[in-house]
Amino acid sequence: MRVELNGITVRFGPVTAVDDVSLGIEPGEIHALVGENGAGKSTLMNLLFGLVRPAAGTVVLDGVERRWSSPQDAIASGLGMVHQHFMLQDTMTVLENIVLCAEPVGRFGFVDFAAARRRLDAIAAEHGIAVDLTREVGRLSVSQRQTVEILKVLYREAELVILDEPTAVLTPQEKDRLFDTLRNFRAAGKSIVIITHKLDEVMEIADRVSVMRAGRLVRSSLLDETSRQEIARGIVGGELPEARTRKAQAAGDVVLSVRDATIARRGRPVGPVSFDLRAGEIVGIAGVSGNGQSELVRGLTGLDPLLSGGISLCGQSVETLDVAARRAHGMSYIPEDRQRMGLALGASVSENANAGRDDRSAFTTGPFLRHGAMMRFARAIIEDYRIRVAGPSAAASTMSGGNKQKLVVGRELTRNTAVVVAENPTWGVDIGAIDFIHGELMRMRDSGHAILLISTELDEVIALSDRILVMYDGAISGEVSGGEANREDVGALMMSRGKAA
Amino acid sequence: MMETGALNLRNVLPWLWTVLWIASIVLALLLFVGAPVGEALSGFWQGAFGGRRHAYLMATLSRSALIVGMAISVMLSFRAGLFNIGGEGQLVAGGLAAGLIAILLPGPPLVVLAAAIAGAMLAGAAWALLAGVLQLYMGVPLLVGSLLLNYPIRYIGSYLVAHPFRDVPSGMVQSYLVPQATWFAYFPGTRLDIGILFTLTATAFALVYSYGTLHGYHTRLNGLSADFARTVGLPVRRLTLQTLAISGAIAGLVGAIAVFGIHHRYIDGMLVQPLYAWTGIIAVLLVGMVPWAVPISGFFFAAVQTGAAGMERAAGVPKEIALVIQAVIILFVASRVSGALSSRAGRGDGDA
């Protein structure tokens, strides 16, 4: 399918999210759409998919101008989209999820699951992707869920497949498998649009690359006609930040010590896990998501109780204390899920910035709030962490992903605690924000704070950590010192239990 | 966003449509039952706001005192993310406690009155806390627990005024009168008792609490996202119980207002049948739990109810049709208001 977007403009209230963008997508082509968060990539694709309406411009499919009144129209015309946040029903099976809203109806109005199964078998055979159709989606791994989303799109006979940050949740091996599938689609003549932040992937798989910045299309060219540096400059609108250098620094006293901690999860418990964290070091915990990292974090922060084992924080055992007491003892936490745990999106920036603050007397008088003091505090964070937002009284939901994350990071790091637990702190944020957040974590380390960095982004762990622990299947499968880490060694530990390096 | 005239028109236009819809449906209903339209409408208006020396306006205010009080109670727990729909039980507990204390406790009237009001608030708070304890320690969802607790207290009340404390000579299922000296005074020259002052005080408290206190701020964060509240270390359990206690205490206070201001005794069903608690819930949901709008919303509901009664009196519109008209007005206004509030809140949630 040949798609042309002509002079597309999308506005949300006073904000112009996409500004006069014209773009062509050819059949049998993998088209990478790159740019920072808030550059308008997702909005542009949501428009193509009928989720938002343009203020100006036209969508032309195979020479015919089209207008969608809903995504259903777009699907019926052969478009399919795999969203960044999967849209699946956890309690239904894979098969039920796939046929949902496109059920083959048999006699007497019953759903003909047998027919659906036959078609999916054919699709699986053609494209070499398969997943157990009878499993409940809630029991699948993230990459399996993504496969379900892709099958959903294929089942609806999509000719154009849009994938929004498909590799954010995958291991290197799973990513390779996904890319094989995409190449297979290309060979079958389908058009593929892949929205991504990662230049490596663009260089690896794209035929054509389009760069967006601040709602505008900066450039769109064949991959062969451009270079990695040129794309990167287009994304940030200038020169790239330099690679980070680590200041050599001897680690100090142990500030966080975890001994044989086990934490409940569905199925087998996580653990036992033991490690020490010293002042002035960043310890990275690498691993494919779902290998017990999130349970470990919940156990450390006090969100979930330990089944057994102990945690000592600054010399005091804290495993029986609640979240507030652990925070007061010197722990800050940057959660992975900024939308649900990091921020209250319905509240203002100021209300979010002041939540969980220790120095209560600085913004209250007796039981009453001092709104002025809260606003000043929020404004200081906005400035120090260069958050782009209308002001401290704007709703947190009005910020872009990167700015939301900077607010969470700012709130937690401003507390200046001995220990900082950072869980995927740059998940889904743009290059500029990633660099800034990495810089702040490094600055905390250099000034003698201890940072536990839990990340599924291997490059991030390698770039920042003094030591790297790898988690696999609920336990620590090995430790690598930061200086000598290479992707392959750590990658091997991510896939196996106890092959310690 | 709202500086141009064109946009103002766009804001007003939906309201015009709402009014037109209400007008045409009400007209159709009135024509259907053959009621004189002019008289019915003026009856409605008079019934809500008119009367000799504004007697009906006073009736509307008197009703508002109870509905707004219940709405405030509901608003405090809903904003904290606690779906306490047991306001009715807490209201009954308060009314019952107020009535019994006033009947049984000897002493100077002011002391008795103060003790009865305090007792009513404690009873309401205790009944709400019971639902909270059921949720936190027994795993009964608050929505279910608070609702189910409405029934036992209602029948405990029925039993008490049907048997041990029944005013037998009156021939009704009701308690003895509370001492006359404890009755709320009327505002001079009106039939409006001073109970509304208690509601106004509770409203003022709720507004200051919601906008200006640390506790109100923390409970609001919990209401917006319980996960967030836990992550930043707010004491979620304690906030839950404290908020329920405050919410229940206000419902109990409303029960006391009904006893000392209106009925002067506990009559079986007097707090349940007029659906004060449920009207309060709808009044809060109508304005999307925005604190300052809650009293206005409560007053609106009271006015629609007394207005419908006035229409019945003045133009002989059958009671059932008056109730249908009441429902039509509420339905259209509700869809309009909550539509406007939610579209404002739901805008611009852009991640990635």
Mean pLDDT of A392-417: 88
Tokens of B35: 């009621």
Which of chain B's residues have a Cβ under 8 Å away from the Cβ of A164? 352
Q: Which helix (H) or strand (E) holds A181?
A: helix A172-187
CATH superfamily of A3-236: P-loop containing nucleotide triphosphate hydrolases (3.40.50.300)
The answer to which of A175-184, A375-384, B122-131 has the lowest mean pLDDT is A175-184
Cβ-defined contact of A343 to B228 (cutoff 8 Å):
yes
Cβ-defined contact of A303 to B231 (cutoff 8 Å):
yes
Q: What are the phi and psi torsion angles at B56 (to 5°)?
A: -75, -35
Mean pLDDT of B214-227: 92
Which of chain B's residues have a Cβ under 8 Å away from the Cβ of A43? 350
**What is the chain A residue with the closest CA to B209?**
A368
**What is the chain A residue with the closest CA to B222?**
A344
Q: Let me know if residue B318 belongs to a domain.
A: no
pLDDT of residue B342: 53
pLDDT of residue B330: 81
Count of CB atoms situated within 10 Å of the CB of A91: 10
Which of chain B's residues have a Cβ under 8 Å away from the Cβ of A45? none
Q: Which of B225, B232, B234, B246 to mutate to test binding with chain A, by most A CBs within 10 Å of its CB?
A: B232
pLDDT tens digits for B75-89?
999 999 899 999 999
Length of chain A: 501
B81 contacts B110 by C-beta, under 8 angstroms: no
**What is the chain B residue with the closest CA to A42?**
B352
Q: Let me know if residue B101 belongs to a domain.
A: yes
- Between strands A467-472 and A475-481, the pairing is antiparallel
CB pairs under 8 A between A and B: 103
Mean pLDDT of A21-26: 91
The CA distances from residue A277 to A35, A124, A320, B208, in Å, are 36, 47, 20, 45
pLDDT tens digits for A423-477?
989 877 777 788 889 999 999 999 999 999 998 877 788 888 989 998 888 888 8
Which of chain A's residues have a Cβ under 8 Å away from the Cβ of B230? 303, 323, 341
pLDDT band per the 50, 70, 90 thresholds, residue B5: very low
pLDDT at B37 over 70: yes
Q: Which domain holds residue B122?
A: 68-313
Task: Say if A109 is an interface residue toward chain B (CB within 8 Å).
Answer: no
Cβ-defined contact of A364 to B234 (cutoff 8 Å):
no
Q: Let me know if residue B40 belongs to a domain.
A: no
pLDDT of residue A240: 58
Mean pLDDT of B56-61: 91
- ipTM tops the 0.90 cut: no
- How far, in Å, CA of A437 to CA of A48, rounded? 32
A430 contacts A197 by C-beta, under 8 angstroms: yes
pLDDT tens digits for B95-122?
999 999 999 999 899 999 999 999 999 9
pLDDT of residue A334: 94
Task: Say if A402 is an interface residue toward chain B (CB within 8 Å).
Answer: no
SS3 B8: helix
The total number of structural domains that make up chain B: 1
Q: What secondary structure letter does DSSP report for B258?
A: I
pLDDT tens digits for B308-322?
888 888 888 887 887
Which of chain B's residues have a Cβ under 8 Å away from the Cβ of A370? none
* β-bridge mates for residue B267, sequence order: B174
pLDDT at B241 over 90: yes
Mean pLDDT of A6-22: 85
Mean pLDDT of B167-196: 88
Which residue from A326, A397, A401 is facing B348, i.e. has the nearest CB?
Answer: A397
Cβ-defined contact of A345 to B225 (cutoff 8 Å):
yes
SS3 A58: strand
DSSP string, A19-77: EEEEEEE-TT-EEEEE--TTSSHHHHHHHHTTSS--SEEEEEETTEEE--SSHHHHHHT
Residue A349's nearest CA partner among A399, A383, A414 is A399
Which residue from A356, A360, A428 is facing B233, i.e. has the nearest CB?
Answer: A356
pLDDT of residue B8: 64
Mean pLDDT of A346-374: 89
Place of tokens 């790091």: A413
Tokens of A311: 């945690």
Tokens of B232: 């930043």
The answer to which of A33-42, A199-208, A240-249, B267-276 has the lowest mean pLDDT is A240-249
Tokens of A370: 């001092």
Longest dimension (CA), chain A: 74
pLDDT of residue A214: 79
The answer to which of A25-39, A320-334, B142-156 has the lowest mean pLDDT is A25-39
Cβ-defined contact of A351 to B221 (cutoff 8 Å):
yes
Which residue from B214, B235, B349 is facing A345, i.e. has the nearest CB?
Answer: B349
Q: Which residues of B touch A (CB under 8 A)?
A: 1, 212-215, 217, 220-221, 224-225, 227-235, 345, 347-352
Q: What is the CATH number of domain A254-344+416-494?
A: 3.40.50.300
Cβ-defined contact of B347 to A42 (cutoff 8 Å):
no
SS3 A257: strand
Average model confidence (pLDDT) across chain B: 87
pLDDT of residue A40: 83
> Domain locations in chain A?
3-236, 254-344+416-494
Nearest CA distance, B223 vs chain A (angstrom): 9
pLDDT of residue B4: 44
pLDDT of residue B228: 93
* Residues contacting residue A357 through CB under 8 Å, at least 6 positions apart: A363, A377, A415
Residue B115's nearest CA partner among B191, B60, B179 is B179
pLDDT of residue B352: 34
The answer to which of A238-247, B98-107, B161-170 has the lowest mean pLDDT is A238-247
Q: Which amino acid is at A468?
A: I
Q: Which amino acid is at B28?
A: A
pLDDT of residue A498: 53
Average model confidence (pLDDT) across chain A: 85
Nearest CA distance, A388 vs chain B (angstrom): 14
Q: Which of A15, A297, A304, A339 to mutate to test binding with chain B, by most B CBs within 10 Å of its CB?
A: A339
Which of chain B's residues have a Cβ under 8 Å away from the Cβ of A344? 221, 224-225, 228-229
Percent of chain A with pLDDT over 70: 96
Q: What secondary structure letter does DSSP report for A205?
A: H
Nearest CA distance, B327 vs chain A (angstrom): 31
Which residue from A360, A368, A397 is facing B213, i.e. has the nearest CB?
Answer: A368
Q: Let me know if residue B78 belongs to a domain.
A: yes
Q: Which of B79, B210, B215, B228 to mutate to test binding with chain A, by most A CBs within 10 Å of its CB?
A: B228
Task: Say if A247 is an interface residue toward chain B (CB within 8 Å).
Answer: no
Nearest CA distance, B349 vs chain A (angstrom): 5
| pLDDT higher at A436 or A271 | A436
SS3 A164: strand
pLDDT band per the 50, 70, 90 thresholds, residue B55: confident
Nearest CA distance, A49 vs chain B (angstrom): 16
A255 contacts A330 by C-beta, under 8 angstroms: yes
Domains A3-236 and A254-344+416-494 share a fold: yes
pLDDT at A281 over 70: yes
The answer to which of A450-464, B292-306, B316-330, B333-347 has the lowest mean pLDDT is B333-347
Nearest CA distance, B70 vs chain A (angstrom): 24
| pLDDT higher at A14 or B261 | B261
Cβ-defined contact of B214 to A369 (cutoff 8 Å):
yes
pLDDT of residue B117: 96
pLDDT band per the 50, 70, 90 thresholds, residue B3: very low
- How far, in Å, CA of A356 to CA of A324, rounded? 8
| pLDDT higher at A15 or B330 | B330
Q: What are the phi and psi torsion angles at A30 (to 5°)?
A: -100, 115
Task: Say if A388 is an interface residue toward chain B (CB within 8 Å).
Answer: no
pLDDT of residue B351: 36
- How far, in Å, CA of A229 to CA of A227, rounded? 5
H-helix segments, A331-424:
349-353, 371-384, 401-413
pLDDT of residue A288: 76
Which residue from A339, A356, A395 is facing B351, i.e. has the nearest CB?
Answer: A339
The answer to which of B17-31, B153-167, B246-260 has the lowest mean pLDDT is B17-31
Cβ-defined contact of B215 to A367 (cutoff 8 Å):
yes
Length of chain B: 352
pLDDT of residue B341: 56
pLDDT tens digits for A124-171?
887 777 778 888 888 887 778 888 888 888 888 889 999 988 887 677
pLDDT at B347 over 60: no
Task: Say if A358 is an interface residue toward chain B (CB within 8 Å).
Answer: no
Q: Which of B221, B231, B237 to mutate to test binding with chain A, by most A CBs within 10 Å of its CB?
A: B231
Nearest CA distance, A228 vs chain B (angstrom): 23
Count of CB atoms situated within 10 Å of the CB of B287: 23
pLDDT of residue B260: 94
DSSP string, B304-342: HHHHHHHHHHHH---HHHHHHHHHHHHHHHHHHHHHHHH
Q: What angle do CA B263, B265, B266 make, to 5 degrees?
A: 100
DSSP string, A420-447: EEEESTTTT--HHHHHHHHHHHHHHHHT
Cβ-defined contact of B214 to A303 (cutoff 8 Å):
no
